[in-house]
Structure formats: structure tokens, C-alpha cells
Structure 1
Amino acid sequence: MTMRVAIVTGASSGIGQSAAIQIAKRGTGVILTYNGNQYGALDTVAAIEKDGGTAVALPLDAGRSETFPAFRDSVVAALRDTWRRDTFDHLVNNAGFGQMALFEETTEEMFDGLMRVLLKGPYFLTQTLLPLLADGGAIVNVTSNAASFAGMEPGYSAYGTMKGGLVVLTRYMAKEFSPRGIRVNSVSPGSTRTRIAGNAFERHPEVIPGLAARTALGRLGEPDDIGVVVAALLGDEGCWITAQDIEVSGGYNL
């Protein structure tokens, strides 16, 4: 039987790293991408290989759509060389970054930067890779509860708008890809202990108790809390779920 293969973008740390490891634990091969943090990506590969899994790390800047055709070529080569395949089964659009500014202080440059990585990136990367995605496959887009009432905080108008666009895009993908049996869902994390916004939680640990107090389950999210949900949505457990946005936040502002 052919091994399933997943592509996980932005898997050098945080949610992407966790998702890649959790997916590999289920017996799926992983092509994971990194942008600035090659060492983190190699750590992810090492963690997967230590558990007996197979992973390949490739560079990708999700904000530069002109590089996507060359990335697709490197995916084709990795699939052929490592798994003897010409298709893959799962795509996780996770690569992203966080940036905050009050509405009045948000510049066009900041808006465009967020848009390129968080919305245009997943749109055109998925379009570029779609011919290689096997029928009956699955996609998970990582969105954010910043796009829902529960997670709205001042300073995230641009970030939340892009993530909200990705929630809507998820539904359209699910509708248009359904004739091929491809399921598309999104997960919306709440506050999660990752390296987002320049390691904000390490630099400002004083904000954590307040966030935990506003979370029904009483703590900050950890990457694995989200990674296991991504893996389950891609797996056979998720076979009857499509076009859904699932908030994974421990009940933030419940």
C-alpha cells in the first residue's frame, strides 16, 4: 500500500511543527516547509524520523507567489525520490505571522504584507499544488479566532480580516473541490504558546495569566492542542467533515 503524504507549510515551530509531527505519527509522510528558520525545520524532521517516520524539509516563502511554480517542481522531485509517487494526499496551509497595530496606525505596507502571506499565499499555493493533490484528499487551512467575535481584540483588524477571508476561502474550496472528493476545513486557534509576533509570550509572560483567566478551560493553548485536531481532520476520522471552521481555543471568552 502506498504511504500517504502531507505537505505542511510553516512547520519549523509552533502549530505547524506540531501538526507535522502528529500527522507523521499516523503513518503519513510529510513534506514540511520553512522560511527563515531552517534549524527549526530540521528539528521537525529529526523528531519525525526519531519516531520512525519520513519527512523532507523544503524552503518556501508563502508571501512570494511568483516562487510557487518552482516550489511545485521541488515537491514533484521530493515525492518521486522519497515516496515513489507523483501525487500527495493532504495540504496544511499554516505558514503565517502575526502583526498588530490599531486601525488608525495600520499602514498599507503592513496590510499588504499580511494579505500576501495569510490570504493570497494559501489561495495561489493551493491553486499551484492542486494538480498534484490526489482525489479523495484533504486540506486544512489554519485561521484564527481573531476572525470571530470570541477572539476579537483591538489591534488585529488587518490580521483578523485576512484570517476571516481564509475562513470564507475554505468554504469555496470545499464546494469547488468536492467533485474530486477533496475535503477542506479550517481550524481557528485561540491564544497559543508559539513563536508568533517575535516570541511574544516569551518576551511578555505577564500577559499569560489574563489570557488563561478568559479561557473556559483555564490555560493558554499549546501547539499540540491544535496539531492533533489538524491531524484528525485530515485523517479518516474527518471523512464526513468539510467546509467547517473549528475553533480550537479552550473556550476563549466563553
Structure 2
Amino acid sequence: MTASVTHHVSSTTPEAPPIAFITGGSRGLGRASALHLARSGWDIVLTYHSRKEQAEEVVAQIQALGRTALALQLDTARTADFPALAAALPALLREAFGRDRLDALVNNAGTGIDASFQETTEAQFDAMMNVHLKGVFFLTQALVPLLADGARILNVSSGLARFSFPGKAVYAMMKGGIEVLTRYLARELGPRGIRVNVLAPGAIATDFGGGVVRDNPQVHAAIAGSTALGRVGEADDIGGAVAALLAPGSAWITGQRIEASGGMLL
């Protein structure tokens, strides 16, 4: 594992808080999820691809909330690195949190693409598959032994697996695969009490996909006009949904697709 580690150890509490592992936690939906969970009493392990400074900023924000955070550099497309991560993680968890098990895994990391079906290259297909499908499959496989019984897995999909826009075929195809995988994981991991669900965000105003939803006024207006709640989603909308789905009150929900889109294209 090629890891750059940043952590802060908070004061101990009588009952150890749960620990969530969030991929792509340095920005966007991953950052919002980490902060919402920290406000709900979770400690956080987050990964980042290349933006170490942003990851350290998120760690500092979590620290300011009185929680513990650990940031690891990880390319979720490089499955060859996952065994080393799984081998090193228990010691890192003991050092930072005094425990060696995770209570949640949030498979969030991803990149976007805008290419029509006819123009999509094999290299683009492979890049999408490695991050959004193969990477999620094998990272989850590597980390499941480190999940406590009764833990949660939340896979991030997309509203594009339900509705269709030109140029999004290969991205949406991989997300559709994740939604199928979620149901199988829920069935296979159910005997351990592990709940597995998929969260499908609608169009969100972040830097994802070049920030087109956030920065293009025409796109922004069109999405707001096709959404029941009359606006474009924000990262905090998804962070709140993640925290809700990992909360104890959602313990009887597993194998489900939950769309957080404000009612987009109903």
C-alpha cells in the first residue's frame, strides 16, 4: 500500500464510537458523508487519490468535531494494492482508534465521463470499470474480514442507473452492476448481520464531471426544473442520507436501492 497517513487521536470515551471507512473522502460527496457521520458520533477512515491537502483539511474538520480521523492515500482502481491495505489496516486502526475492526464501509470514490456510446473507447470503458465496478468488488472483498459483525456497507450508485442521459452509458452501466452486487452482498453477508444497501444520488452541485451541474446555469436550471423539490441537490443532501442509512434506526434495511435525488425525473 502506498499510503500517506494523517490522523488525530481524540480523547477516549467510555464506549468506543463506531468507525466508518469512506473511499474518496477528501471532497464532494465523500467529504460531506465523513462530516455528517462525524457529527453523528462516528470516527472516520477516509481515502484520497491525490489531494492530500484536501484530505488533511477534512481530517482537521473532523478533529474539530471531537472525533478521530485517519486519511490514507489509495487508488481504488489499483486492485493489486488492496491486499497490502487490508494487511496494514488493523495496526493503523489500533494506533488511531484503539480497535482493529470497522463498523461501516462506504464505497464512494469515483470519476465521471461524458462520451456517447459510439465514441466510448476501450480505454475509457476499462477506466470506468476499474474504479466503479472491479475496484468496488475487490476492495469490499478485501475489507469484509475487517468488518465487525453487524456492520454496514453502503455502495454509492447514481440516479443514472434509473434515468438516461446521452453520454453517460458506460458510467451508468457500471453503477447498474453495483446495484446488482449490492443485493448479492446483502444475501451473502446477512448471516453476519451485515446490512448492505446502495445509495443513488441524483444530479449534485459538486466538482464531479467537471462541475457541470454546479457551474453551468443552463444545466442547473434544467435539472431544477425536472426535480420534484425544485432545486439541484447539494453534497450535504447526500451526506445526510449516508448518515441516516448507517444509523441504528436503519438496521432493518438491507439489499435496497435508495435514491436521493429530490424526486428527479419522476
Structure 1 residue 27, shift from structure 2 partner? 1.1
The answer to whether residue 209 in structure 2 is matched with residue 197 in structure 1 is yes
Structure 1 residue 204, shift from structure 2 partner? 2.7
CA distance in 2, matches of 1:177, 1:68: 20
CA distance in 1, matches of 2:194, 2:52: 31
Which residue, 243, 249, 253 being the options, matches 1:241? Answer: 253
Provide the residue aligned with 2:127 in structure 1. 113
Cα deviation digits, residues 191-241 of structure 1 (max 9, x gap): 001111133345534311111111111111001111111111111011110
Provide the residue aligned with 1:34 in structure 2. 48
Q: Which amino acid aligns with 1:225?
A: D
TM-score by length of 1: 0.96
How do 1:60-99 residues align onto structure 2 when only pairs under 5 Å count? 60-99=74-113
Between Structure 1 and Structure 2, how many residues are aligned?
Answer: 252
The answer to whether residue 241 in structure 2 is matched with residue 229 in structure 1 is yes
CA distance in 1, matches of 2:263, 2:89: 37
The structure with the greater share of residues assigned to helix is: 1
* Runs of at least 5 residues in structure 2 that lack an aligned partner in the other structure: 1-14
Runs of 4+ in structure 1 off by over 6 angstroms are none
Which residue, 176, 181, 184 being the options, matches 1:169? Answer: 181
TM-score by length of 2: 0.92
CA distance in 1, matches of 2:56, 2:196: 28
How do 1:77-156 residues align onto structure 2 when only pairs under 5 Å count? 77-148=91-162, 151-156=163-168
CA distance in 2, matches of 1:252, 1:53: 35
Structure 1 residue 176, shift from structure 2 partner? 0.2
Structure 1 residue 22, shift from structure 2 partner? 0.8
The answer to whether residue 20 in structure 2 is matched with residue 6 in structure 1 is yes
Cα deviation digits, residues 13-67 of structure 1 (max 9, x gap): 1110011111111111100000021122112111111111111100110101001
